Each structure stands twice: as structure tokens, then as C-alpha cells.
Amino acid sequence: MFTSSQLGGKWHRRLGVECSSSMLPLKSNPPIQFHPASHSHSKRHHHPLFQNYQNTIHHMHNQHTFFLKLPKLPSPFLIKSLHRANPKLIARNSVLSISNNSMLSSSFISRSAAADEINDGEGNTTTSDTASFRKFKLNQSTFLASLMPKTEIGVDRFLHSHPRYDGRGVLIAIFDSGVDPAAAGLQVTSDGKPKILDILDCTGSGDIDTSKVVKADANGCISGASGASLAINTSWANPSGEWHVGYKLVYELFTEKLTSRLKKERKKKWDEKNQEEIAKTVKQLTDFDQQHRKVEDAKLKKTCEDLQNRLDLLRKHSESYDDKGPTIDAVVWYDGEVWRVALDTQSLEEDSDCGKLANFVPLTNFRTERKYGVFSKLDACTFVANVYNDGNVLSIVTDSSAHGTHVAGIATAFHPEEPLLNGVAPGAQLISCKIGDSRLGSMETGTGLTRALIASVEHKCDLINMSYGEPTLLPDYGRFVDLVNEVVNKHRLIFVSSAGNNGPALSTVGAPGGTSSSIIGVGAYVSPAMAAGAHGVVEPPSEGLEYTWSSRGPTADGDLGVCISAPGGAIAPVPTWTLQRRMLMNGTSMSSPSACGGIALLISAMKAERIPVSPYSVRKALENTTVPIGDSPEDKLSTGQGLMQVDKCYEYIQKSQNIPCVWYQININQSGKTNPSSRGIYLREANACRQSTEWTVLVDPKFHEDANKLEDLVVFEECIELHSSDSTVVKAPEYLLLTHNGRTFNIVVDPTNLSDGLHYYEVYGIDCKAPWRGPLFRIPITITKPMAVINRPPQVSFSEMLFQPGHIERKYIEVPHGASWVEATMNISSFDTPRRFFVDTIQICPLQRPLKWRSVVNFSSPAAKSFTFRVVGGQTLELVIAQFWSSGIGSHETTNVDLKIVFHGIKVSQEEIVLDGSDAPVRVDAEALLASEKLAPVANLIKIRVPYRPGDAKISALSNDRDKLPSGKQILALTLTYKIKLDDGAVIKPQIPFLNGRIYDTKFESQFYMISDSNKRVYSSGDAYPTSTKLPKGEYNLQLYVRHENLQILEKMKQLVLFIERNLEDKDIIRLSFFSQPDGPLMGNGSFKSSTLIPGIKEGFYLGPPKDKLPKNSLQGSVLVGSISYGKLSFAGQGEHKNPEKHPASYQISYIVPPNKIDEEKGKTSLSSKKTVPEHFEEEVRDAKIKVLGGIKQESDEDQLEWNKLSALLKSEYPKYTLLLAKILEGLVSRSNIKDKFHHNEEIINAANEVIDSIDKEELTQYFALKNDPDEDAELMIF
């Protein structure tokens, strides 16, 4: 999901910040400030201020959320069911009876010329400039309109002219976290048709195995999968008499937030009942004591003990309460026509008569009858059911967050009583394709994505909206992109997706929305009306702008990245389990459905007017009819072609309806090079900006697969006039004759005379015969010319940078060769109210995800703040400082910012080191290329990875129900089973290096693993981004599922290596030593601590292998993993230099565990062979007794007396056993409430002496004579 990057989620992977307030902010309140969370899913981008939200939504592209409560509005606004209109209420409340004309007249135009006409909703039209706009005040209708922005993209103007083209006849597939069919506004369309045609869980997270078949007994009861006896309703038709049964822990179907609420409510009720039982038992004990002063009778003693044990048990249960959640039984049967489903939910109900299976109203596949259920009044969670594989799989579909319902509401919600809160296309229908896996906190999976595409084609959808994504290694690449290309090109679906929330730095667009050619990527825009109404700022900005956190282009291969922009915030329906009707969220997750709804209006009109619908023609119309956001060409990298305009776009479509549907694919190569090819030109590095370059451009017209070869392809010929936005920098031919087979031409880019900084140009083609069509294709050319750092020591200062809300400063610096980290200081002054800034840096390295660093800096008063971050020498660094769009918006003070950055670096011969398991050290040469540096190497091994091969590998064909591609190919699944044994409980994380870290930029469709024990209890599951799981001691099966259509590829993966990673305990962390001599590790001398590097002079040292005993269970072939750093930070806090992983320029170090030492193994064998079975038994008994002694709590005099007796008894049995004597000493020291301290201290001294006397001093002397700690050598030599 694309939540804003560090706010939560893939949407890493879920919702953004949720702020509750009793009412919306008034004008006198300070502005509400939202800041981005990084891109999930993610799984994946996290801001430190929002750790509580980061795992929930790894990948949704929603930026922020807060709850809306409007006590001054009529109650129907919040609580009356939208699908049950109440005319009387509407008549009494003017808020709910606002006419469409009022809506049109009261809205704002997003961008304007110097003077715009604005109607204040009272019938008064004024001419506005910046000053007059700031005086604008919302009225009730404009406020409501701002909560579901539509005027900004021309929706009101379009519907005013075409009221029946409101999405009718259009079907949208919502790829998201699931849609609640009971949510407000999602029951019917504007013309009375069902709003939701199908609801699918494409992830499989709600699947229940119902392959077990039972028959009813003579009493009409069956045995449920949970073991419960279930009574069957006699009216249910079941000709075969066969009942498929399964069960599910209900918390597995609920979101984390809903589960948390239920646990609190259930705990409260449990505590009340438990307290009642405790009170009863205490009273019974009191009454018993009063009635029986002396208890000598055995029965009475037993009664008293039972009461006391009951009380102890009740108290213990109160302390160890753990709610694993209720279990629901599921029953599936075939009634002769369709498969039916019934659930037994008694475990969710307080009343034992409620939730019985026989009282359940049977469901069938939602697509058939469009019926849904609710588990219980307590959870208020809606669900639907779908049956697959001839009754053997039941899918219970719930949403994995509120995100999907909100997205669906923006696109299509219909509120007949509150038209201002309608979605963009209230007449459109939708299907819900849940791609956010409930097991993964709502992160998408490859399985979910593929099944969603299959469903969208099967249902003959017109549009797809997907508000999910994450950063990518390679743009426009991967299995999912290949399938999307097929869906768009062959089946003519229009795919719309969010661009991401990782801005404001360039090249932050996420996959798939911002990186895929076949997908319309949407950026997030905020208008003055949205700022004033939804965000409640004191003074709205004078004109609209892109949200600060909205991701920017270009992609790594030069494509623009963002296609268009749309409003990035709205109040929209949310699921019933949230216990509210609507919620305000903002992010590119919201701009995408806004654009999708606008496109649905266009398709509705095109279908009604019988204009051919093509994703090619619609996208071209969108791009060529936008309103620019910003005044410079470089703004296109943030906003795409601009803010979409539905009305203008439809006019364009009408005019061009007889023109062939063609997409102009662009493929570019630098002259003289065949690889890599690109979709644009991106000159980012210093060398590329110092010379003129020539490029070969291939324009390749693409037709849909059903195009007629004779009527469409043969006759296609266009005379193209080529234009350059600046011919002094970009030179291109004047004309091009384009045919179906494509045509190449050359362009020359000369950036040598450009100033340092960002520059954007385009070469575009115009149809000579129809110039009104606008650009048929565009070749984006982005140049980031970096400044050179010539100072020594290398540092750069930027002084007196002036900021206002939303202002962004971009600096491009050629990082000096040899630099590996930066230490920066930011000073801010000249402001009167608090300020919030984003400080982002980004570098692009080949075949890597962008190297990105972010700090969100808050200033309440003038101050200086320092930070460090990693850099790569020789690569261009983009440094972005942005004042958050709503920060300081009510102030007229300009903020002054000074920034100083100093480059540091130590160049080493080996950055990442592998110790091969031998006793030989590794030599490292270090050199400072820029300035003198403190060389202080530190290396720790903090994790262990144990490799496993699968014990079993099976390939199977998946069912046709959900896993057959539109091409007709059947998807295959490879199941690999790994046997894992843990001798002790541990926190583990599976690692599959070949597959991990990639969802979109991989040619494999999907990966998923589950860890279970011998009883098939599932402890953990995960996908491309594994998570850590705490497992108790025992044996486990890890099953890894890999899906692909190619059998040969899966065959090659049958021996795939998997690692189980475990963090070492603090006592087991290995701190490696450094030496100045190659024999240092064995001789124990020549320790290397630190040195000062002088530029131009290399210095060498040796890194020794682990000298201490390796951690337990370090098997041969295992890998110990950690970090190594070489330089010392100026800003490092006390003790930070000992933790290399905290250094911005740290690198991985690995140690391969060698075979065990033969001598040690022989010694252990000979020692154990001398011990007989009775001797072993005696040792076990002794150790058990000592353990009991250590477990006695000496809290009372009685406890101490028992402890004294037992310790004296054990000393008499094992008088010289050191571990026993040490345990006795430990027990004496741990005592509290000592009455006779002198006597107690004397006991401790005597016990300590006994421990010392029990040690074999000769053996100890020999041990220390052989042991030498090289770390202490240097200190011992100092006098």
C-alpha cells in the first residue's frame, strides 16, 4: 500500500496517522500538519515519529488520517443509514438538501490567473488575488464540498452538462485492502443498480480448508472441525447429505485495530467476571475460617486447600490472561443449485442462544446473491463468503484495513441525502479485489495481485484502481508489469495507480504506479478549498500545489514518472467495524481513486455516445487537457502534465473519436550503446553534464491486439512535426514520417552551458494535419547538473535560504570521490511560529534502489540541528529542503535557513568483508582521500544465519477457480518444506536471498511462507519481506510456496537455499579485534586500536576471526553476520562508536562457521564414554536440586528458613561442588529486609570463601597462563 512513507504503510503496509478530535479545527486553531510516512508496505519506509503505524500498512498510498466528528451538523450526516433515505429529515435540514446548483456555484477553481472569479456560495462573486483569497471564508456548502473535492478536476462542470454520464455503465476493479459492502454510500448506484458486483479475497488470507466431509447423526447434528457438536437447520436443502466442515480463529480475519478493540472489550468483561469469582472465593475462605478455628479433619483440610488453590488459580489467570480469540466453525454444502455457507459464531456472543449454526442465514458466493453477514454486534465486522474447488475451500472475505473502503468511496460513493459527499462517479459499479493480506498487516502479495488481474478480466471491468506500491530496483520491469501490459493492451482496461508518498526528492515514484508505462500514475494535489476545509488551516494558500510528500519523477530510466495529478485528500466512507461512517485521509492513495472516478465519467459518456474506449486515447486526452500546477517546466516532475480536467478531457475525446487508438512507445539509446535502453533521458551524474551527447529515439506506434492489419496497421501514416522546448540545449529534427513499423531519429543534448541545478526539457511530436491534438508523444529530458566541491576540507554551505509554506529548495552536489558519509548542521531563524521541514537526500546507483535518507525536523524556536547520512563517492547527491506545505501557513514571516555539510570518508580495500572460517586474518588497507580522518575500526557479529535445504519439494497445478491466467495458462505452485529444529526458544527470521525484497521488480509471480509445528499450528507467515517471530523450543516445518506458469523454472528451484536468521543475545555478540601484524590473532600481540589517516598515505591493519567460543548452535556452514565501520563521527554520542551498525557508513561483515575442532569432539566423546548411566542420572538429580534451590523466593522468614535447610542439606551431599556453592552465595546476596546485617555479611563472606576454596587453583593457573586477551595488550604496555 502506499501509505506515506514512514507513516504507515504499502502503504509499507497500511493507514497513515489517525488523529481523533471532537470537532474539525476552527479558523482560530493552529493548522493541522500532516507529514509523510514513507512508502509499506512498506514493509518498507518508516519515519521515526510514526513507528506505531509503520507495520500496519506497508504499502497503501494514503498519507494521513484523522477522524471526523461534526457535532454541529444534523445527526443524519454521521449516523443515519445512507441507503435508507428519510425525506422528513432532509426537509428539516438545509445542510442535507443542498442542490447541485449550489454545489457548483460554491466550489473553488484550483488554479487561476492573476484574478479569478470565486463565488462565495451566497451568490456573491468577487475577483480574487492572493490577498483577497486569504480573506475568503467558507460557508457550509463550500466546506462540505471541500471534504470530497471534485470541482478541482472539473467534475461539477462535466456533470452539469452531462448529468446522466455519472459513471453509469462503468465497472471499476478496486485493488486494495477490501471493500465493506455495508459502508455508507456503497449499496446502490445513482440509477438504482447494485453498487458492488463482487467481493474477492485474492490473497487467500481468509481461506478455510473445508475438505473434511461429515454426515449428520440421527439427531441432526454434525461434528464441526473444531470438535463442537453442531445442530443442522432441517430446512437447509442438501441432497447429498454431505457437509464440508472447517474452522478459523476469528482474529485471523480481523484487522489489528479491530482485534485490539475486541481484546480490550473482552478483557474488561473477563476481568469483571474473574473479579466476581475471586470475591466469591475470598468470602468462602473467610466464612470457612470463621466456622472452623482449628482444622484437623482431613476432609476439612482438603476443602480449605481447594478454596485456596482456586483463589491462587484465579489470581494467576488474571496475571497471565492471553486472548487468542474465539474460534468459528464453518459448514459448506451443495443445495442442488449453488454452494451454501453457514457459520457458528456462538463463541463471539455473550448470549449462548445467539450465533448458533442453525440460526445462520446461509450465504453463497457474493457474486450470485450479493448478500453479506456480520460476525457479531460486538465487532460489527462485515464479511462475505465465496466457495472454491468443489466445496473444499471456503473464502471468508473481510477487509484488512479501512483503506480500501475509503478508496472505493472516493471513486464511486452515492449519498442521495448528501450529494456534496458523493464520490466522483456515483453511477459507477465496482468489484473489490482484496490484495492486502490480513496475515501480513495488509501488505500486498504477488498472489493477490495476479488473482486480482484475473478477476478484473473475467468481470470485464473497464477500470482498475490500485492505491498500493513500493520503491523498485528496475522500472517498468517484472512479472506483474508483464501481466498488466497484457490486460491493458489486449483487454483494453485502463489502469490507474498512486505514484507514492516519498517526496519531495526526485526519483521517488513507486512501483507500479509511477514506474510502469501501461499505468496512469497519479500525484497528490491540495487546493485552497481543501486546505481551508478539510485541513482547517488558518489561511489557505493563494493557489493549489502538490502535497510536499507526493512522490516525484523521473524514474531511473528517465520517464516522467507522474502522469497527472488529482486531489489527494477526501472524507469518504469507512467500514462499519471502525464504528463511524466516514473518515478523512490524504495521500496519493486518495488522488488515484479521484482520477479513476474522473475517468469513469469519461468512459460512461463514451459508452453512451458509442465512442470506442481505449486506454491509449483516454490517457492522451487526459495528458493534453490538464491545467498546469506551478510555473516552471521542472514542476512537471512533481505534478506530471498537471491537474486533470474531466470536462476539457471529454471535449478532446469527442473531437478525436475517429482517430486511430495508438500508443506511441518510446525507446531511447545513447548513440554507440545498445544497453541499457530507456524511456527518457536522465543526465544526473557530473560527467554526463560536462559534454554533449547524442541519442537515438525509436517511436514505435502500438495498436491493440484486436486491431485490423489492413484497415488499421497498413494505412497508418502520420506526418509529425518535432518540437524542442529549448533548442539551445536539446536539438531534434523538424519532421518525422511515422508508419506502423516505427521510426528512429536522433537528438543531441548539450548541457555544458547550463547552470548548476535542475533543468527539464521535452521533445514532443505534433500531428501536422491536426495540431489541435497536442503532443502525440513526449520525450522527457531531465538534467541535474551538480556543483563541484573544491574546498579542502570538502564542505559546502548554503546561506540565507528563504522559505514559505510549501517551498522546496533542491541542491545538487557532486559527492567527492572517497566520501562515504556527511555531517550536516542546519540553522533556522527569523520565524514566529513552529516550523516543520523535510530534509531529504537521494542518490541513484546502477541496479540498486535509490539510496534515500530523510529527516523530519521540527523547530519551535530558532535553533541548530545536526545529522549524519551515508553517501556514495562520485555520484550526484540531491539535497532537498522543504517547508511542509501547511507549516507556518498562518504566519507572514519568511523562514531563514542556513545549511552546512561536510564530507568525510575513508576508502578501504574491502568494504564488505567475508571471513572464511580459517584462523587467518583479513588485511584491510585504509586511505583518506579528502582530509585527515580518525581511523577507528569497529566490527561486531550480531546475527547468525543457518542454511537449510528443503526436505521435500512438490509441484502442483492450482485450481481453475482463481489461478488461470487470462491467456489460458495454468499457474503452477512449487511447495518446498524445510525442517527446522530449535534446541531453545528463539526469535527467528527466514531469509531467502534469491527472492526477498522484491514484489514488483521480479519475474516470479509470488512467494509466501508459513511456519507451523507438528500439530499444524501456524506461528508465522510472510512473503518478500520476512518478519521476526518468537518460537518456543521444538521442531517446525517451514513451507515456502513459489508460483509461476513455467514448469522448467520451478524445477530449477527445488533445492532453493533458505537461511534462518537469529539475533545473538548481548552476551553472545562477538566483538572482533584488529591487529597491526598478521600473526596477531594467534600470538596475542600487536593490537590495533586507532590511527589518524593523512591524505595520500595508506595504512593497513588486520581483522582477526572470532577468538572466543562461538555461540551455541553455530553449526558448520552457518554464517555469523554483523557490521564494520572505519571512521569516527564528530556527532557520535557516548558509546555510539562501539556500535558500527549505527554509523552511516557501515558495511556488512560475515564469518563462515568452520567444522568443529576434532580434538574437542574427541575430548567430549572420551569424557562422556567414561560415565555410566547411573552417573549421568546422579548428575541430573543434583542439577535439578540446585535448580529448585535457586527458585525459592526468600520473601518471608519462613521462606528463608526453608532455603537454609535445603542449602545445608545440599552442601552435605555435594560439599565441594562449585556451582552449588556459587548458587548459595547468590541466594544470600539477593536477600532483602535483613534484620541482622552484621551476621548476614559474615554469612556472605564465609560463602564466598567456600566458593574460592572449591576451585582447583592449579587448573585455573594453567588456564590463565594459556589465555591472552589481545585487546588489553596496548593498555598493559602503557606506563
In tens, the pLDDT along 1165-1183 reads 443 445 678 888 888 888 8
Give SS3 for 1076: coil
Burial class (CB in 10 A: 0-12, 13-18, 19+), 1152: middle
Q: Which domain holds residue 1191?
A: 1172-1263
Cis omega (within 30 of 0) for bond into 512: yes
Decide which of 785, 820, 849 is a domain's last residue: 785
pLDDT for residue 953:
96
pLDDT tops 70 at residue 426: yes
Give SS3 for 315: helix
Is 1143 inside any structural domain?
Answer: yes
pLDDT tops 80 at residue 971: yes
Q: What is the CATH number of the domain that holds 920?
A: 2.60.40.10
Helices (H), 24-154: 51-54, 87-92, 100-105, 130-134, 140-147
Residue 1157: pLDDT band (50, 70, 90) is confident
Strands 564-567 and 519-526: parallel
Crossing angle between the packed helical segments 479-491 and 446-458, to the nearest 10 degrees: 10
Is 1167 inside any structural domain?
Answer: no
Specify the DSSP element, H or E, that contains 465.
Answer: strand 463-466
The 8 Å CB, 24+ separation contacts for 209-213 are 209/246, 209/392, 209/393, 210/244, 210/245, 210/246, 210/330, 210/332, 210/391, 210/392, 210/393, 210/394, 211/244, 211/246, 211/392, 211/393, 212/244, 212/245, 212/246, 213/242, 213/243, 213/244, 213/245
Q: Residues with catalytic annotation?
A: 176, 403, 589
Backbone angles phi, psi at 394, to 5 degrees: -110, 130
Is 288 inside any structural domain?
Answer: yes
pLDDT for residue 198:
98
pLDDT tops 70 at residue 1121: yes
From the list 506, 543, 498, the residue with the least C-alpha distance to 524 is 498
- 310 and 239, same structural domain? yes
Q: What is the CATH number of the domain that holds 534?
A: 3.40.50.200
> Which range has the worst mean pLDDT, 121-125, 595-599, 1151-1155?
121-125
Which residue matches cell numbers 547520512?
869
How many domains are there within the chain? 7
User: CA–CA separation, 1270 vs 1209, rounded Å?
Assistant: 44
pLDDT for residue 847:
87
- 607 and 584, same structural domain? yes
- 849 and 763, same structural domain? no
In the chain, how long is the greatest CA-to-CA distance? 113
pLDDT tens digits along 363-409: 999 999 999 999 999 999 999 999 999 999 999 999 999 999 999 99
Crossing angle between the packed helical segments 646-655 and 615-623, to the nearest 10 degrees: 120
pLDDT for residue 1256:
80
- 448 and 597, same structural domain? yes
- 496 and 527, same structural domain? yes
pLDDT tops 70 at residue 1030: yes
- 545 and 477, same structural domain? yes
DSSP label of 713: I
Decide which of 397, 421, 446 is a domain's last residue: 397
Burial class (CB in 10 A: 0-12, 13-18, 19+), 374: middle
- 535 and 443, same structural domain? yes
Share of the chain above pLDDT 70, in %: 86
Q: In what order do the strands lie in the sheet with 717-724?
A: 681-683, 775-785, 757-767, 717-724, 735-739
pLDDT tops 50 at residue 23: no
pLDDT for residue 403:
97
pLDDT for residue 1162:
46
Answer whether 0.75 is exceeded by the pTM. Answer: yes
Decide which of 352, 368, 397 is a domain's last residue: 397
- Please list the residues that pair with 1196 across neighbouring strands: none
Give SS3 for 326: coil
pLDDT tens digits along 42-60: 434 333 333 332 333 334 5
Residue 715: pLDDT band (50, 70, 90) is very high
For 643, 921, 1237, the CA distances from 1157, given in Å and listed in that order, are 70, 18, 50
C-alpha cell belonging to residue 774: 497536442
Range 149-172 average pLDDT = 97
Which of 154-163, 266-275, 701-710 shows the highest mean pLDDT?
Answer: 154-163
Give SS3 for 520: strand
C-alpha cell belonging to residue 299: 476432609
Q: What average pLDDT is seen over the chain?
A: 86
Residue 530: pLDDT band (50, 70, 90) is very high
Which residue matches cell numbers 494505412?
715
pLDDT for residue 1267:
52
pLDDT tens digits along 427-475: 999 999 999 999 999 999 999 999 999 999 999 999 999 999 999 989 9
Range 776-803 average pLDDT = 95
pLDDT tens digits along 945-958: 999 999 999 999 99
- 869 and 831, same structural domain? yes
Residue 61: pLDDT band (50, 70, 90) is low
User: CA–CA separation, 418 vs 395, rounded Å?
Assistant: 35
- 560 and 488, same structural domain? yes
Is 62 inside any structural domain?
Answer: no
Is 1064 inside any structural domain?
Answer: no
Provide DSSP, 964-992. Answer: B-TTSPBPEEEEEEEEEEESS-EEEEEE-
938 Cβ contact list (under 8 Å, min separation 6): 1124, 1125, 1137, 1138, 1139, 1140, 1143
- 561 and 471, same structural domain? yes
- 1082 and 1041, same structural domain? no
Backbone φ/ψ region at 1086: left (φ over 0), alpha (ψ -120 to 50), beta = left
Is 1252 inside any structural domain?
Answer: yes
User: CA–CA separation, 916 vs 1150, rounded Å?
Assistant: 8
- 536 and 515, same structural domain? yes
Residue 173: pLDDT band (50, 70, 90) is very high
**3-state class percentages of the chain: helix first, strand second, coil last, to nearest 5:** 25, 30, 45
Is 849 inside any structural domain?
Answer: yes
Cβ neighbours around 1108 below 10 Å, total: 10
Q: For the chain, what's the residue count?
A: 1279
Specify the DSSP element, H or E, that contains 158.
Answer: helix 155-161
User: CA–CA separation, 53 vs 65, rounded Å?
Assistant: 11
Residue 1083: pLDDT band (50, 70, 90) is confident
pLDDT tops 70 at residue 421: yes
Is 36 inside any structural domain?
Answer: no
pLDDT tens digits along 889-938: 878 889 999 999 999 999 999 889 999 999 999 999 999 999 999 999 99
User: CA–CA separation, 360 vs 364, rounded Å?
Assistant: 12
Provide DSSP, 715-769. Answer: T-EEEEEEEES-TTTEE--SEEEEETT-EEEEEEE--TTPPSEEEEEEEEEEETT
- Please list the residues that pair with 763 across neighbouring strands: 724, 779
From the list 468, 461, 371, 483, the residue with the least C-alpha distance to 412 is 461
C-alpha cell belonging to residue 296: 484437623
